[in-house]
Structure formats: structure tokens, C-alpha cells
Amino acid sequence: MADAVTIIILCAIATYVTRTGGHIVLSRFGTLNHRLEAALNAVPAAVLTALVAPYAVTNGPVEGLAILLSLFFSWRFSMIHGIIAGLVVLGLYRNFI
């Protein structure tokens, strides 16, 4: 096994490649096709949703409820309301029930 420093540096390079790669490839395209443009505009909604989805269904009913409440309160009021609503429910449940 190679020493830890080598592995760490290679992992850092791999991570940096993913963080610049999309931009570097895209900047060679010139003007963007409308479908590609639409796909890129959907990245936050699509990737963040895909990231969160398993948390909502694999951690128990109250955790799922916390995500739903966060969804509802941030839709109806604001982001901060959403986060606080989810945290309050989880905190109460885990400490007092």
C-alpha cells in the first residue's frame, strides 16, 4: 500500500477534477443548445433532490416527517422556517418520546 500522503493527494486531484471538469467541458461548447441550457438550469432541483430523497425514507417515520415539514414550511414561509420546523420535530421526538 502506497503511503497515506500519496493517496490523499490523488484523492484531492480526483475531487478537483470533478469540481472543474463540468465547467471546462462546457466552456468548449460556445453557444448552448436550449435543451442543454434547460438541463443545466435544472441541476440544483435535480441533484439536491436526488441527494435528499433517501434521507426522507430510510431513517424512520419521524425523520421522514421532518423532511416533509421542512418542505412545507419553506414552501409556505421561508427557508429558515423550514429548517427550524424539521429540527424542532426531530429534537422533541429524540429527547422526549
Partner 1 sequence: MKNHTANEVQASAITEYFDGIRDAAPVLVAVVPFSILFGAIALDKGLSFAEMLLASLSIYAVASQYVMLDLMGQKLPVWLIVLSVFALNFRHVLYSAAIGRKLSHFTGFEKTIAFFLLVDPQYAAAEARSLIKKLTPAYYFSYAATVYTTWVLTNCIGGLFGKLIENPEIYGLDFILPLYFTALVVGFRSTSGFLWVASGSSVISLLIFFTIGSPWHISIGGLAGLAIAATLSRPEETSHG
Q: Which of 1, 61, 96, 97 binds partner 1 (CB under 8 A)?
A: 1
Cα separation of 65 and 77, whole Å? 17
* Region at 60 (left for phi over 0; alpha for psi -120 to 50; beta for the rest): left
Residue 28 in the binding site for partner 1 (CB under 8 A): no
Query: From CA 56, how far away is CA 68, in angstroms rounded?
Result: 8
Contact status: 57 vs partner 1 (CB under 8 A): yes
CB of 61 to partner 1, least distance (A): 13
Rule CB under 8 A: is residue 44 a binding residue for partner 1?
A: yes
Helix (H) or strand (E) holding 28: none
CB atoms within 10 A of CB 9: 10
> Could you say whether residue 60 binds partner 1 (CB under 8 A)?
no
Q: What residues make contact with partner 1 under the rule CB under 8 A?
A: 1-2, 4-12, 14-27, 32, 34-59, 63, 66-67, 70-71, 74-75, 79-80, 82-83, 86-87, 90-91, 94-95
